[in-house]
Structure formats: C-alpha cells, structure tokens
Structure 1
Amino acid sequence: MSAVRCPTIIGRSAELSALQAAVAAARLGRGGTLALVGPPGIGKSRLTRQAAATAQAWDMPVLVGRGVEAGGSTAFRPLGEALLAGLRRRPEPTDPELVPFRPALGRFIPQWRTATTGDDSLVVLGEAVLRLLAALAGEHGLVLVLEDLHWADPETLAVLEYLADNLAEERVLLLVTTRDEHCPAVGLVRALAERHTCSELTLASLDISEVDAMAVACLGADVPTDLLAVLRRRTGGIPLLVEELLTAGANSAAVVPATVAELVAGRVNALHPAHRRCVEAAAVLGARFDWRLLPSMVQTTDADVHAALRAAIRAGLVQAQQGDRFTFHHALSRDAILDALLPPERVEWARRGFAAVTASHPELDSEWGDLAADLALRAGDAERGAVILVEAGRRNLAQGALASAETVLRRAAALVAKDSAVAADADEVLSEVLVQAGKTDDAVTVTTRIIRRLRRTAGTHRALAEAHLRLARVHATAGEWTAAAAQIDSVDPHSVDEDLRLQITLAAAQVALGGARFDDARGLATNVFGASERAGAWEVMCQALLVLGRIARRGDLASSEELFERAQAVAESAGLAVVAARALYEIAISDAQESLRLDRLDAARERARSLGDIAAVAVLDLQRAATFATRWEPEPMMEAVRLCVSASRRFRLATLPKALVFAGVAQIDLGRPAEAETSLAEALRLAPEDLHLLGEVWGVRAHASLTAADNSRALEHLRRAMQAYSRQPNEVTGSPWIGLWVLLSLVADPNLAVPPSPPDPITNRWNRGLIRFADAVALGRTGDAVAAAAAFAEADSQLRKPVDVLWHRLQARRLTAAAAIADGWGDPVKWASEDLPLLEARGQQQLAAAVRGLLRRAGAVVPRRGRGNTNMPATLRAFGVTNREADVLVLVGEGRANREIAERLFLSPRTIEKHVERLLAKTGTRRRTELVAYAARILGAPPAS
C-alpha cells in the first residue's frame, strides 16, 4: 500500500500569493513576519515548504526549526535548531557589529560560548538573533521557518516577539506555524497582528470542489463517484485526511475507515511484526526521533531497523529527515499509534527508551534531557523524571531562560513529596530563578520555605547564609531596604567562611546605599575593601570601591574619581572586563558633572558597547543628554534622548523614565511644551513611586515656567521638587533645580536675608555657581555692594568655564539683576544689555521681553526688537531669507566653519547646519563653495582666503 501525496497545492492561491510576496519583500529589504494558523493536517507545513522552495530559487538561505512536544523544558529549542543548521552549512559571519553579541548567541552556538554570557536578558538575546539573521541574510535575504510553535517554550516566543517588532528594515522573513488552539503562540500571533507587525493567515478547510480537485490531482485520473462522496463526507476538507483516505481506498471505494486512527491502524497492522515493533517504539520517542535509539529498544540490529523504516516510509507512516532523524508523516499518525497501544505496552516502551537515551547520552543535555524526562514519566518513574527536570531548570537558569526554568522546576516539585531531597533541590534553583526574574512575592515565599527547611533539617551554615543573602536581594530588588537589611543581619558572619562573609558585607553596603544610609554604606564598603584586598578577592574589592566612589560623589568629585580610577586599574589587572568598564562609566559621569566634557562619556560608551553592555550604553546616552541639557544644546540633546529612549523601549531598560524627563527638557527648549508634558506624564506612569524622579519632573515644569519668565509659577514647581528630593535622597546629586530653587527663593522674598539650605549636597559646578549668585543677592541686601558685585563676577565666571552653562547662567543673571535693581548694587543695565541679544538670537522672546522690562525698570534705553543684525538686500528678501539666515550667510561668506558660526551667534552647530541647508535651497546654490561666492557677491562679505 503506497502513500498517496498530492503533487500540487489545491485551494490556497491567496495564501501562496501572500507567501511569495513576503519572500520577495524580504529579498528587497522589507522584512516581516507571517504566521500560518490552522488545525492539524490543514496544510501549514506544505505551504512553508513551498515558501522555502521559492526562497531557495532566489538564492535566499532557509533556516528551519521546530517545536517538539517533549521539548518544553529546554528553552530556545526551535531557534537553536534553526541557527545551528544555518551556520553548519555556510561560513560564519564576520560582521563586526555582531562581535559584542557573540556571548549571548553562545546559548545556541557552542563555538561562541564564553565563561560569561554577559547581559542575559531576552531582549538582548533577541537583538543578538536579529543581528545574526541580518548577517546571514547578506544581500540576498533569508527566510527563518519555525514550525509547531504551539509546543514552543516562553523564551522562544519572547525572542520571536522581539524579532517580529524589529524586522521591518531587515532582509529577513520570519515564517511561523501554529495550531489554532488555545496556546501562548496563538495569543502572540494575534497580539502581533493587532500592532501590524505580523500577517496572520488562518487556513480554512477545503470546500467540496477543492476536495474533488485534490482527489483528481492525487490520482491523476477521474475519481469514482462513491469515493468522492466518502471524501466529501469523511475528511471535513482537511487535506491530510484526503490523502490518507485515498491511500486506504484508492482502489476500493467500499473499504473506507471511519477515522484517521483506523487508517493508521490498518497500515501498522499490515507491517511485518518486527517492523511494527520498531514503529511502535519510535512513536514513544516522539513525532521526530533518532533511529539510533531503536536497536537497543527493540533488541535488534541496525539493518533490521533500517528495513523497518523503509517499510514504514512505503506505508506513508514516516519520512526521512536530514542526518539520523526521521519524523512521522503527521502528528496525528503518531498519536494514533500511541492510542492503539495498551497502557502496559506504552510503559514498557518508555522504560526501554529511557534506558537507550541515558546509555547513549548520559549527560542528558539539551533535547536529550527533555526526552529522558518525558520517557521517565511515561514509564511511571516520577522521581527520576523530577531529577531530570531540575537539571533542565538549572540549564535554563544558566541561559537566562527564566520562564522555562520556572515552569519545569514547578513541574518537578509537583511530581515528588514536598519533604523530598528532589523538592529541596527544585526550590534552591527556583529561588534564584524568581530573584532574577524580579518576582519578589514568589521569591520570598520559596526562599522563606528553604530557610525553614534548612533550620528544620539542620542544614549547613553556608546554605542558610546563602538563602538569607538571596532573600536580601529579593527585598532590595523591590526597594524594601529595611527588610533586605534584616535578612543580612540574620546571618551570623562567624558561621560562614571569609569568601561568603565578604559577599554578605558587600550586599549590606549596597543595601545601605540604596536606602540612603550613606554613613553605614561607607563603613561597610570600607571594611569589605580592606578585607578583600588582603584576601585577593578582586571582584568584591572593585565592587566595594564603586560603592565608596558613588558615596563620595555626593560631596567630593575628586575623591570619587580617584576611587573609580583605582577600581578600574584593579579590575583591568585582574581581567575583570565588565567591572573595569563599569568603573570607566562612573569616572565619565563624575567628570561630566564638573567639566561638561563629552570625550570621556563617548569613550566609556564605546567601551560598554564593545562589551555588549547595552544597559550601560543607555545610561551613558542618558548622561550625554544631561550634559547637552546643561550646555543648552537642545538638538544634540534630543538625539541623545532618542538613542536612550529607543534602547530603553527596545530592551525594556530602567533608564526609560529618566530619559523621558530629559525629552521634556529638550522639547521645551525646542518650543514644543505640549509634547514635553506628554513625555513627563509617561515618565510618572512608568515610575509612580520614585520620589526623586517626581522631583525631576517638577524641575522640568519649573524650567518651562522660567523659559516663559513666569517666576512665581517656577518657584512653586521648584518647591514641590525640593519636597520630593527631601523625602528620597539620591546617591547621584547635581540636579540644577536645586541651585535655581535656592536663588529664586531668595530673589522672590525680599525679607529673606540668607539663602535657604539645599536638600542635597552641592557638588557640581553649575549648582555652586547658582548658589554663588544667591550669595551675591544676599550680600547686596546687606548693603555690601562691593562684595555683592565680586560674588556676581565669581558666579558668572564659574558658570562660563570651561564650558558655558548658558541657559542657567542667563536665568541667574536675569534674576540677580532684578534683585540688584531693587537693592541698588552692581550694574544690572550692563548685564541685561549683554544678555538681550543672546536671548533674541536663541528665539527666547518671552525671556527677552522680561530682560527689556528690567531695562525699563532701571530707566535705560530699550533696544529695538529683532532677530539678526544684517541689512538684508531685496534679492535675499525676495528669496524668503530670514534675518538670522542672513547673519549666517555673512559668516559663511567669510569662510567660517559651522562650529565657529555657532559660537559667534550663540546657536548650536546643528542649527547652523539647518540654516546652511535652507540657504543652499533658497539661493539655488549646490555646494558650500558656491554659497561662499554668492555671499561675497550679494552681501559684500570678503571672500574666504
């Protein structure tokens, strides 16, 4: 009895067109995701094979992976299969952008594994897979086929979601299949379809005419009427059943089994008994199986197994795959064979299969552990199955596959007695899984259970201490600093060895720092530093130095930098690359708080990027945004914010709320206050309990009010910011809102004799300068005009050098000038006259109007309003050239570079670039040299030498 297979695909013209279009789009650089959804036997696999054939005809590589029924305990099984196959058949990609992601890809690719996998988050892994696929795609494109996702693990689905959201600009088509049953895969497909990052094709049953057409195509001749009637009645339009029924009844319409189970049973029973035993044994191994396990299970020779497989292929039961793998023609066929076995027969085959797997793969890694656990449970050996599942949980934890780890560990614990050793092992691993996953409530429950068990069974002091330390980490993750400290205090440091004692003390220092107990944190970190230095525990020593440096940064930037530099030197000499990079990152942040330099931030960012430390890159982009904000460079600031927000959203990083706050600053400076308030509102929604972030939000609102010269509203916002800061001290000080609050509070209250005390230490240059302006106001009120003027000059110089803190300096001069006019000291007319053109050049009309008001109050002549000082020829005015563009044109004609022009006009280089672009368009010149000549001709500017 030969199997009948349809030579063509019937009734799927729309689906075939969609598949061909998706493959073609990927080849042209417009990647995407397409999902085929439908019941078993509906034709999903046949359509994917057709798509693969189309891709291969266009020289596009096709990578294929599958979910398997017993594979749920091993994370990333379908992806690993596909990527390994992809690299096995082609040279490894040499794309340098892929290098930082190789440690993450080591989960799939053994030759890329390192001692540490770096960042183990699923989004980083998703980006790594995305970049690998892009590298493999090259110029021709690539199709990644992942079948049977209804059996896929949660981590695979998470990575697929990431891929689907980010494939639009890659030459990659992700083609997936899943049954239309209630499962996470279908939920993911529907969610992706709703946000238009996946096209879902739900395959319907064939109609009567299509069933008839398929029968004709299968037989290559007219089909008897009675057979067509059976096909219409029995198949339900399922293509697989059409083929199965034709195989059974192609020559006799009178013999038609009622169900597919009867069809399969008929074919199995027609086999030689020895061949039938091989097929039954294979069914216990799974829908896909390795033939090399069968000889020991059936107790026969390789040759006999080969003969049995040939017979099964002829009967249409199995088909050969690459290598040593075979697969049942359809999952329904395998299920029907299992259902036909008696329970004791299934148990016996499972027992033999378990013995075969453990003998041939005693390490039980990857898929073999999955299969062994499944076989042990089928054989009734729950404890052995649980032991294997616990090991699978450990592997998943090591890979960062936390969801799969939690699933299999809970399953393992449910199989055995609660007081068994296996349950205890499962809890130990599960506790760490939950800590890393941030599931604090569950982690507390499980870890507390471990502690109680250890106390009840007189567990070792070290095991108990490690459990308490883990519980402390749980509470710290949740921001419960008091509870975290209590767990650390519950450990007797004399009951553990020196190594663990150092780790516990370091954790206590970190908890104290998180809880704003800075003196405690300093004392603990100092003790850890000394002990770890003597013991040669270099990583602990470096971590202690970083804690000390972060504390020192609150009041002494020079000392903090020395501590960070020492941590970097020790880490580099000890080969601790990640710790060294973190120290460099802290150095750059400290330096930027004083100098507003960008070179160290950029160097630290590049170092972090090369290590694949994406979270550190995001933090450094955030610090770059803060630096641009302080320098009043809104356009490059917005670009740094964009990078940070993009990475934070893409990788689900904690930097997102603060990045949105800086987005608000940039949007205000760019004249988009409504957008700024939207950004601030989202930041508060993301971190509603972060009081320091709340303070920053009120500070940005004060920034908006000061930009509008609304001092009273700004002061109210600043007061609310200070209230938030005082309730949650922050290890990183330096918010400019603090200095502005001190100055504005003093200026607004003529009865206030001394500046108010700030809620945080003042360590950075801009806050020191702002408070020195406040000192000038206070001295002026005492009648000491000379000292007040000297303080003003000192404050102004402090904010000017080495990089001008321009926005804050101009605000401080405006506020101080108002106080000087009221109290009769200094030269407020000179200050206002100097600042007015700067504000007008920046387009700050409301601030400029406030400065004109100061001049009027002082009785001075108020300059005429206007932007730009160039006398504009009628020709330029006819072209629509603005006064400011004319100013730029004059300087371009003098041969000056954009940065020099920006400094002369107090604009950003990016703004100058835009002005030059507009001038090229308006004047009809094509390049800068032509524009220089044009300027010399029209404006009379001297040509560049």
Structure 2
Amino acid sequence: METRSVSPVFVGRAGELSVLTGALDRVGCPGSGGQGEPQALLVGGEAGVGKTRLIEEALAEARRRGAVVAVGGCVEIGADGLPFAPFSSALRTLHRLLPEELAAAALGQEDELARLLPELAPRSPRGDAGRGEDDRARLFELTARLLERIAADHVVVLVLEDLHWADASTRHLLAYLFRTLRRGRLVVVATYRSDDVHRRHPLRPFLAELDRMRTVQRIELTRFTRDEVHHQLAGILAAEPEATMVDRVFDRSDGNAFFVEELARSIADGSPCGLPDSLRDILLVRVEALPEDAQKVARIVAEGGSTVEYGLLLAVTRLSEDDLIEALRSAVGANILLATTDGDGYRFRHSLAREAVADDLLPGERPRINRRYAEALEADPALVRDDERATRLASYWYHAQVPAKALPAVLRASVEARIRHAYAEQLRLLERAMELWDAAPDDIRGGLRPLDYAEVYPACGCDPATPLRFLDLMAEATVAGRLSSERERALKIATRGRRMAVDEGDPLRAAWFAVERYRLVSALGRGDGWAELAEAQSLVRGLPPSAVHAEVLAEVVGWQRLHAPGPESLETAERAVSYARMVSEEEIELKARFILGVLMTDAGDIDGGLAEIHAARERAVRLGLPSLIGRFHVNLPAVLEGLGRSQQAVDLITEGIALTHHYGLLDSEAWILGYLAESCYSLGRWDDAVTAAEQAVRKALSPRPRGYAAVQLALLALARGDAAAAAGQLAAARAHFGTHDPMPQSSLPLARVELGIAAADGRVADARAAFADAVRDGVQPCVHRYAWPLVRAAATLEADTRGLPAAEPGRAEALDLIRRTVTTLAAAVPVWQAHETWVRAELRRATGEDTAADWAEADAAFDGVGFPREHAMVRTRRAQTLLPVDREQATALLRRAAATAQRVGDRPLAEDIALTAQSARLTLASGDSAPAIAPRQGPGLGLTPREEDVLRLVADGRSNRQIAEALYISPKTASVHVSNILAKLGVSGRGEAAALAHRLRLFPSSSGPDDRVSA
C-alpha cells in the first residue's frame, strides 16, 4: 500500500472553489466575459481545515487561465508580526514576474513605495518623507494605484495568508485596498485561522469592519463529513480504507483535514490502535522519531519565525553544512519541514506542528536559541533581507532576555517601523523599549541620542545633544499610538508623560503632552479638549518663543474659532504666526496663517483674509505638506460657501479632491465631498449634491465627515419632501457626531433638519423647541451661514401656522426669540443680506402684515447671489401677495418659480406653487415651465388619511350626512372624524376648520379645469 501525507485528490470544497473561480470570471480572465472589476475574498477556517489546499487549487486554476499569481504570508517572529510582510513578499513576486510593468506603474513614486518593496529604491536611514497619518495614507494610496496599474493589462491574483499573525499596519493597508480598489483585473484573497481569533484578538474588529463592506466575499471552511474523510483517506492510502479505519479516523479527527492526514500517517507507520489522545502528542512523536540532528534543527526552526533562511539556520545550528543538509533532508522527508517556494529557506509544513515543537522547548532553551539567532544575525546582517533585519534582530534579542542588547535593537526597529509608516508596530516596539529601560545598564542608556531614535524631539522641546530620556520614548509612543489609532494606549502614555514632565520641571514637554492629550480626548469623544489646551497654554505662558509654544497657540486659536470666537482670537493667531517664524517652524506658521485668514474673513476683512488663506494654501501645496493640504482644502471651500461664493467653492473643490486623492487622504477627501454637496445644494445641482454626499459617506474613515455628509443628505431629502428619509439621515448624523463636542457647525444644521421634519409633520411645538435649543446660548459669528437658514425656517414656520389655534400657545415667545436672534446675526455679504430681508418678510407674514413691497425687496436681494431654490421660494411668496392686484406679474413669477422647483426636484415648493395657482384659478401651462410634480394630497398636520378626506369635504362646506354619503360611512362615524379633526387642529368649529384649510391652501380647489382663468 502506498501512503502519501497529502491526498492527491481534492476532496470536497466544490462550492468554495466555485466562489474563488467565480471571482476570476468576474474580474475578467480571458474568455470569462468579466468586466474587470476588482474582487476581494476572505477565507477563514480553523487550523488544519484545508485553507491552504483550497487556495492552491484556486491558484492552479488561475495560472491555467493566464493570471499572474503573487502570494505573501504574514510572518510571525516569536509573538510578533513583521510590518507589511505579506505585501512586501507579494510585491517582490510581482517584481520578479513583471519587472517592466511594475517599474512603469511605480514610476515617480519609487522612494515612497520602497517602504514596502526596498528593491525599488535605496532608502536613507531616517526616511525621506514626513511623519503622520497623512504620510501613511499616501503610502496606502500609492500601493492601491500601483496594483490597479499592473492589473490594467494583466489578471493579478494577490493572496495574503495567515492574517491572524498580521501586524496592524498590514490590516490597515488591506482594509484600505478593500475600500478603495475600483478598477483593474485584480483578485485579492486573504486567509486567516478562525480558531485563533479569540474575543480580544486584534483581527476581530477588522473582520467586523470587512463584514460591513458589501464588496468583500467571505468563505468559512467547515470540517469534512464522514464521506469526505473517507475520500481523503482513499487518496492518502491509494486504496479503499476499511470502514473501521474511517470511523476511527473520523472520530479522532472530527473532520479536520490536517488531523486526518496525521492520523493516517500514524496508522500507516504502524502505530498501535490506541492512538495518542492529542494531536500535539502525534506531532511530537513524529518529531522525536527523527534523527537527533533533525530534531535539533526542527526545534531551532520553530523558534526562528514562520520561515528561517538556510544561511541563518546554518549559522545558528552550528552544524557542518553536510550534517545540516542531511538533517533537513530527514525533516523534509518526514513531511515536517518544507522548503520555501523561493528556495531560500525552510518552514514547518503546518503551523500547528511548529507550535507544538515550540511549546515543548525547555524554559532555558528558548532564550538560548534566540540569543544564537541574534548573535548570528549581528555577525552577518546579510543573512536576512534588509527590510526584515531590524525587526527580527530586535525580537531575537528581546526573547533572549539580554536588555543591554535588546534596548538598542528594539529602538532601531522602532525607527524602521516609523520610516515605513508602520505606526502600530512602532508603538509596540517603543512599549517594549520602555519595559527594557530600567533593566538596561546606565552606560547603554547614556549612549543613546534622541537624534538617532526619536523624531518628535524638536517639536516637544527635547535637546538632541543630551542622552535619550524615558520621556522621549513616551513622546514617540504617544504620537505612534495616535497615528495608528491606538488612542486609548496613547492617551495613557500621554497622561503619564505629562505628569512626569511636570514633576521633572519641564513645562515645555508637559505642554506638548497636554496638546497630544487634547487631540486624543477629542478623537475618543471624551470632551471638547479645552481643558487640555488651557493647561498647555498655562504651561507655556511667560516662556520664550519655541516650537511647542507656537503649536499650542495655533491649536488654541483653532479651537476658539470653532467654539468661542472673540476679539482675542485674532491676537492669538498673530502671535502664533510670529512665534512660528521666530523658531523657523514653517508648517506651524502656515497652519496659524490659515486660521488667521479665516478669522479675518469672519471679522469682515474678506479680501485680506482670503489673500492670507490662499497664500498659505499655495505655499503648503508647493512644499508638499499633506496634512496642511488636506486641512486647507477642507476649510477653504467652507469659507467660500460662507461668503456665498458657491461656484468658487466648487471650482476649488475639484483641485482639492485631486490633491487629497493623490496623497491618499480619505478623510480629507470625504470632508471636501461633504462641502461639495453643500455648495451644489446652494447652486441648485441637487443630483450632484446627493452623489457627492453619498461618496463622502463611503470614503470617510472617521465619523465626523460621515456625519456632515449625512446632514447634507437630510437637508436634500427634506427639500424634496421626503421627511422620513430626512429623519433617517438625521439619526445617522447624530450618531456620527456624538455628544461630546457639540460644535455649532454641526448642531445648527442638525437643528434645521429637526425643525423641518417637525414642521412637515405638523408638530409645531417640537419645531419651536428645536430652534430654541439651537440658539439658547447665542450664535457665534463664524457660523452665521448656518444660522440664517435656521432662523428663516423658524420664521417660515410661524408664518405658515398663523391663525392655527393649536399653534397659538407660545407663539408670541417664539416670534420674540426669532427677532432677538436676528439682531445678533451679521449679514456682511449679499447672500446673507438677502436672507435677512427674507426673514424680515416672513416675520411680517407671521403677523399678517407682509406686502408685495416686502417680497419685492427680498426678490431683488436674491438677484445675482445664486441660491436658485431660495430665490424661487421668495418669488412664490411675492406672487401670492401680488395675486389680488397684478395677476399677470404673479403668474409670471409662479412660472419661473415652478421651473426652478421642477429642475431641482423641490416637491414641497412645486406643491405650494400648484396649490396657489389652483386656488387663484390660474394655469401655469406655458411650454416647459409647467410644474411636473403633482400637488400632494393632504395637509400633513398629523391627521390620518381618512381624516384628511373628511377635512377636504368640510372645507367644501359639506354636512356630516353629505360627508357620510361621499365616503360611504355612517353619519355617526363622520361626526366622530369631524370631532377628532377639530381637536387636532385646535379649532372651535367646522367653519373655523374650513377657513383654516382654505387659508393654508391645504387642498386644491374643488373647481374643475374649465373654471380656470388663463393668464
């Protein structure tokens, strides 16, 4: 009987394999008819269930179809993952298979992409780019574009194995690719061991995030059935197995494919029927059956990482080359070790075997083996690849338990991780360095310099000439934690660092930590961050100018503009600019200059402020500062929109989207798209606004830009008469914004939506409460552009409900609050002057005192300022006041307003126009200007559909008996409906209800079309 370790027959998994090959069809393999859309798949299952075999079968089919296959695995070194290891390995394969295509795709970006694939370009010891979340995002964006370019002409299958070992940077990059890849014939497959993903495993939230992406297909492999185990055994044994053997193996393996292989091998080797109870025993028995040298090699390979290079293995085992090869031949022949596909090293055939051998090492054996690895690597650094050397050496020395060697090695590895923008790994290494700090000898610590191991030391006031301090490590770790989204860990480190700096009498360093705490507290939703900024400001007060001092002032003035602007903000901004110039910190200077320009526009110096803003923006673009480029292109369109320059904002946004996309700044791009939606709304391009807002929701990485986009979608839904959709978007926006920092930029638009929904539902008291809550503490100058539409909506509510008895309680107080709020609002530019005129006219309409002259003034104010929908609403009001005196002009105004309502899709306005025309017996049919939106049936005052029907007949003067006959109900039922209507409307009788319905034009006129007067 021939015995194989692996069945030559592919057993089961037909459905799972069809999903993988189906992805090849959809991606556009030759002859498949696919459209070239990228495909993303996630394959999970317990250890040994058959993930690798499934992938191998799928890749064989992909190669048969002409696809280019690149496989990369997450590399585990001890308990550590190697940053970006699977991407580096896969890109290295693509570099070997498609050298010209990869070089062309990377052209011009070689230095940046060398962080993943060092072969592309030499790299300076400290890197060649800045440090920040934006730099990492740019690396991710360049990687996505690289893959898309290569996949434009080739079908590329990218496999990333063993995500359960993945470092955080690998997970972040993979999530970015799944979220942003939109074109190219690319299939990305990732595998992971589900039984390793315990409740607190870092992969668990990543998997939850992928589950929310509709573009990612997930395959979960289950264990084999008894029939499948039968077929697997037949393949392994090359003969039909006995039924008793199948039963015994199935019971022992529980259908796990790898366990089946090992048990079959154990039986074939003559093991007694009483098989060992645990697979671990089986695996160790097989290792112990090897010759002594082969056992030694297996133990050394188990501790060296997922893969160990041959040269490194030769140095660590200290065997002669002949003896090592013979030992390896025995281990490979026993199917315990495998040669790697590139022929450079060896790994265990299955990770379970490696874990069993590693767990069996003696307590003193593990440090000894790691020490030999570290010594061999120090003696000959060329034994491993350049991009792996620092991380592996740090891991070996750390697990060797030699602090004097481990501390410098860990710090060097942290620098490497920082250069590669692998901030999560940098944080882990820095935490390890802090753990080793006290154990390392004084002379080792004294020989470390901030210039070599720390990057934030200039910003936090550290002297590069002095020895590296523990505080320097804490500063580096704080920033690494913030940039890797490990904010809880970063906040703990920053809090401890601030306390230590205060105790050591270092106010600059303490202020720096306070600013970091402000950023982290805000990001975590623990508050608005003012307490932390106020502390930082107090700590630097009276100190000479420094980078820390300038940064504190810039952050303070930015916070004040959003939360509590005042005359002192301009002075603080000017001081921040001055201090930054004194210490030659141009990035801080540009940030402060931009805020200064915004404050100048808020104060009325529009031309001067815009000039300062544009100068700072252009300089940041020339210098290629991603963080400022993103910030400036987010805020400048908002400033322009606030000045009523919507078209200028849209023009600038086009450039901003291109730049943020180029630098991979997804959050900034999402913010910009949200402002694009707002400006398109103002310009009457509502379909474009919806598209932009929906893109913003998809692209955003953090909740706030999603919240702003949801507000825009809510306003658009409300304007189109879909109050239910608006309510859904309002709830989503509130969830995204949270409650920890209720900035007026978000609270005022939210109140506007809430007021509009309540008004549409006839809930006057709720609408008033929404307005009162929003303006209770006054309105700050920088957010008047959000306040004017809110005030106008409140004034319109009072005008629309004039004479409605249910709205009379609290009416005087509501009007008084609106008037008092108006007196505090500035109207420095034409668009807000137009809104002011409109609000005054609405307030007069609310008391029945408005005239055609009031609305003519508002109509004229909107000429030339854009905002076509608002202009159409004003024209409708003007037409309604003109109807008794000038029907021809009123009709012309209504026709123009109707054309606008039809173009933008404003259903409520179209209904209002149609009802006005029907009530006045006008026809608006005139070419293309006739409204295409039919009037809504029903008043929307909280009445049921049947009550609306009854009110319609009451408005026509019908008696209860006539109503009963018309609606086929009893007179008693009609009477009950009428009583309910009177109670809901708060009127005393049928005549008052009829008058109210006619005055509010709740229903079309009962007159037929033949009775209309053609204008």
> Which TM class, normalised by the smaller chain length?
0.7 to 0.9
SS of residue matched to 1:83: helix
How far 1:204 sits from its partner (Å)? 0.8
Q: Could you tell me which residue of structure 2 aligns to residue 451 of structure 1?
A: 498
User: Which amino acid is 2:68 matched to?
Assistant: P
Secondary structure in 2 matching 1:62: strand
**Which amino acid letter does the alignment assign opposite residue 704 of structure 2?**
A
Cα gap change, 1:149 to 1:615, in 2 (>3 Å): closer
1-side partners of 2:910 and 2:365: how far apart?
A: 91
Q: Is the 8 A contact 1:434 1:442 kept in 2?
A: yes
User: 2:616 is matched by which residue type in structure 1?
Assistant: A
Aligned to 2:401: 380
Q: Confirm or deny: 8 A CA contact 1:769 1:799 kept in the other structure.
A: yes
Tell me which residue corresponds to 1:470. 516
Matches of 1:130 and 1:78 in 2, distance apart?
A: 15
Which of 346, 350, 353 in structure 2 is aligned with 1:326?
Answer: 346
1:523 deviates by 0.7
SS of residue paired to 1:9: coil
Structure 2 counterpart of 1:645: 697
8 Å CA contact 2:748–2:787 kept in 1: the answer is no
Residues 486 and 233 of structure 1: is their aligned pair in 2 closer, same or farther, counting only changes over 3 Å? closer
1:654: which partner in 2?
704
- 2:610 matched to 1:561? yes
Shift of 1:867: 4.1
Q: Tell me if structure 1 keeps the 8 A contact 2:179–2:213.
A: no
Equivalent residue, structure 1, for 2:309 = 290
Cα deviation for residue 53 of structure 1 reads 0.9
Distance 1:276 1:702, change over 3 A: closer
Contact 1:722 1:759 in 2 (8 A): no
Which residue type is aligned with residue 750 of structure 2?
Answer: V
Q: Which moved more, 1:348-357 or 1:178-187?
A: 178-187
In structure 2, the residue matched to 1:312 is 331
Q: Identify the match of residue 74 of structure 2 among 61, 67, 70.
A: 67
In the TM superposition, residue 49 of structure 1 has moved relative to its aligned partner by 1.3
**Structure 1: 5+ residue runs without aligned partners?**
872-881, 886-945
Residue 55 of structure 1 corresponds to 62
Q: Which amino acid aligns with 1:432?
A: V
Query: Which residue matches 1:839?
Result: 897
- Which amino acid letter does the alignment assign opposite residue 645 of structure 1? V
Matched, 1:10 2:36: no
SS at match of 1:7: coil
Select between 765-774 and 158-167 the one with higher mean Cα deviation.
158-167
* Contact in 2 for aligned 1:38/1:179 (Cα 8 Å): yes
Q: Classify the secondary structure of the residue corresponding to 2:712.
A: helix
Counterpart residue type for residue 90 of structure 1: L
- Aligned match of 2:554: 506
* Contact 2:876 2:897 (8 Å CA) reproduced: no
Aligned match of 2:752: 699
Tell me if the contact between 1:193 and 1:200 (Cα under 8 Å) persists in the aligned partners.
no
- In 2 relative to 1, CA 599–430 (structure 1 residues): closer, same or farther, beyond 3 Å? closer
1:334 Cα offset (Å): 2.7
Aligned counterpart for 2:379 among listed residues 339, 359, 368: 359
1:302-331 Cα deviation digits (max 9, x unpaired): 455344333432332321111422112222
1:201 to 185, 201, 220: 220
Distance 1:168 1:812, change over 3 A: closer
CA contact (8 A) 2:137 2:664 kept: no
The aligned amino acid for 1:68 is: V
For 1:217, the equivalent position in structure 2 comes to: 235
Give the conservation status (yes or no) of the 8 Å contact 2:562–2:743: no
Q: Counterparts of 1:605-684 in structure 2 under 5 Å?
A: 605-648=657-700, 651-652=701-702, 654-684=704-734
1:416/1:249 CA distance change after superposition, 3 Å: farther
Instruction: Tell whether the 8 Å contact from 1:818 to 1:828 is kept in structure 2 after alignment.
Output: no
2:195 is paired with a residue of what secondary structure? coil
Which stretch of structure 1 is more off in the superposition, 55-64 or 626-635? 626-635
> Cα gap change, 1:727/1:4 in structure 2, threshold over 3 Å: closer, same or farther?
same
Q: SS of 2:822's equivalent?
A: coil
**Contact kept? 1:555, 1:762, Cα under 8 Å:** no
Q: Higher mean Cα deviation, 279-288 or 353-362? A: 353-362
Residue identity opposite 2:863 in structure 1: R
Task: Show the counterpart of 1:519.
Answer: 567
Query: Residue 181 of structure 1: CA displacement?
Result: 1.4
Deviation at 1:653, TM superposition (A): 5.3
| Matched-pair identity in % | 20
Structure 2: how far apart are the matches of 1:440 and 1:347? 33
Q: 1:341 to 1:662 in 2, by over 3 A?
A: closer
* 1:85 pairs with 2:93: yes
Cα distance, 1:447 vs. partner? Answer: 2.0
Instruction: Please state how far the C-alpha of 1:55 moved relative to its aligned partner.
Output: 0.8
User: What secondary structure is seen at the aligned counterpart in 2 of 1:181?
Assistant: helix
Distance in 1 (CA, whole Å) between partners of 2:104 and 2:837 is 50
Given that 1:657 and 1:684 are in contact with CA atoms closer than 8 Å, whether structure 2 keeps it comes out as yes
Q: CA deviation at 1:800?
A: 1.4
The change in CA–CA distance for 1:436 and 1:69 in structure 2 (over 3 A counts) is closer
User: Residues 534, 798 of structure 1: CA spacing in aligned structure 2 closer, same or farther, 3 A cutoff?
Assistant: farther
Distance (whole Å) between structure 2 residues aligned to residue 41 and residue 850 of structure 1: 68
Query: Which residue matches 1:135?
Result: 149
Change (3 A) 1:759 1:49: farther
Structure 1 position 130, deviation (Å)? 4.8
**1:624-645 CA distance string (max 9 Å, x none):** 3222222333223223323333
Report the CA distance shift for 1:359/1:505 in structure 2 as closer, same or farther (over 3 A): farther
Q: Unpaired runs of 5+ in structure 2?
A: 122-126, 446-468, 803-810, 934-1015
* Residue 852 to residue 158, structure 1, CA distance change in 2 (3 Å): closer
**2:832 match:** 767
Query: Aligned match of 1:147 in 148, 161, 184?
Result: 161
**Using a 3 Å threshold, how does the CA distance of structure 1 residues 317 and 513 change in structure 2: closer, same or farther?**
same
Aligned to 2:364: 344
Counterpart-to-counterpart distance in 1, 2:868 and 2:615 = 34
Are 2:835 and 1:805 aligned?
A: no
CA contact (8 A) 1:516 1:731 kept: no
